[in-house]
Amino acid sequence: MKDEVCLEVWGDFACFTPPYSKVERLTYPVPTPSAVRGILSSIFSKPVEFYWQVIRIEVLNPIRYISFQRNEVKSTISMKSDPEKSILFIQSHVHEHAELGWILNCYTMFGELSRMTQFKDKCAKNADNINGGLFTYPSLMAADILLYQPDYVPVGEDQKQHCELTRDVAIRFNNIYGETFKVPEPYIPKVGARIMSLGVPTSKMSKSDPQGCVFVMDKPEDIARKFKRAVTDSDTEHCVHYDLQNKPGVSNLMSIYSSVTGKTFDEIEREFDGQGYGAFKPAVGEAVIEALRPIREEAERMIADKAYLKDVYTEGARRASYVASKTLRKVYKRVGLVEKPF
C-alpha cells in the first residue's frame, strides 16, 4: 500500500546544496530529494516500515536570490575524502571507462599484456580461471587513468608496471593520431610505497592473507593483535634497525611506522634504541590504530547513511562522466568512429 504525504516547508532564507558540500557558493532553487527525505524522516521516523520516495517538489512563491559574504576557516581534513574536491563514483556507472578500455585494447600489444607481473601471478594461483577479462584488464586500467588527462598517478611500487604500460599506450596512440592523451607520470611515495605482509615480510601485504594484512575497517584490538604477532627476527641487540636485505620484517614495520608518523628511519632507530620487539611492535600497532581511527569512524558514519552515499556516488558519476565524455569524444573523432547523437 502506498500513501502520499504532502509537506510545506518555509522560512526567510534557504540554502539547498548537495548534502556533502562544504563550500558551495550557489543554492539550488529547490531542496534536493535527499534533503526532503531527511525532513520526512525527522518527522515520521519509521526506518523499517517507511521508505520515502520523493515524487514532486513544487515552488509556492517566486524565488529571490541574495548575495552575502561569510568567513571561511580553512581546516585540514585529515585522512578524509571530501566529495567536493575528490570525485567519488562507481566505475560501472560511468560507461566511458568500458568504451575507452575496448578501444585501447586495439593499441595494446599481446606481448605487453602477457608480461604483466600481476597477470602471471594470478594465473599461477588460479590456473583454472584464466580469462580474457583478466588478460586485458591493464587496458581498462589505462582507460581509467587516461580518461581524466592527469599529470600524475599516485600508485604503490607494485603498480608501477601498469603505469608504464599506460604511458606506452598513450604515446603509441598519440604518435598515430596526434596529441590526444596526456602522458602521466607515476607518483610513488619515498616511504611506504610497498608494504609487505606482517606474517611473510618478503611478500606484499594482501587481502588473501588476512592475518598478515591490516584492513581499514579492522577493530583496534585486531590491529594490535596482528602487529604483536608480526614476524621479525631473533636479534636481541640493536633490534630496531633498517636493513631490508637481512631484516625484512623489522624494515617493513619501520616503513609502516614511518608512513603513519612521518618519522625518519634514523629517528625511529633512536626512539627504540635499547628496546626490544616487545616495545616496538605494539608501538607500531598503536600508531596505525590512531592513523586509521578517523577513517574508520567516518566510514562507519557514511555506511550507516545510505541516502548520503547514494547522493555522493550519483553526483560523482555525473561529474566524472562529464569529464570523461570530453576525452572519449576526442578519441572517437581521432579513430573515425561516428559520434553518438545523444
Strand boundaries in the chain, DSSP class E: 152-154, 185-187
Strand partners, 78: none
Which residues make Cβ contacts (< 8 Å) with residue 273, sequence separation at least 6? 238, 240
Active-site annotation holds for 122? yes
What element of type H or E holds 124?
A: helix 117-125
Query: Would you call 268 exposed, middle or buried from its count of C-beta atoms within 10 A (0-12, 13-18, 19+)?
Result: buried
Which residues make Cβ contacts (< 8 Å) with residue 315, sequence separation at least 6? 18, 20, 83
Secondary structure of 117-166 as H, E, C letters: HHHHHHHHHCCCCCCHHHHHHHHHHHHHHHCCCCCEEECCHHHHHHHHHH
Query: Would you call 273 exposed, middle or buried from its count of C-beta atoms within 10 A (0-12, 13-18, 19+)?
Result: exposed
Q: Which residues of 243-254 are buried (b: 16+ CB within 10 A; e: fewer)?
A: eeeebbbbbbbb
Active-site annotation holds for 204? yes
Catalytic residue among 160, 182, 204, 228: 204
Neighbours of 177 (CB within 10 A): 16
Catalytic residue among 122, 182, 263, 330: 122
| 241, 270 contact by CB (below 8 A) | no
Tallying the residues shown for the chain, one arrives at 342
> Cα-Cα-Cα-Cα dihedral of 100, 102, 104, 107, to 10°?
-150
Catalytic residue among 74, 85, 190, 207: 207
Cα separation, 158 vs 280, in Å, equals 27
Which of the residues are catalytic? 122, 204, 207
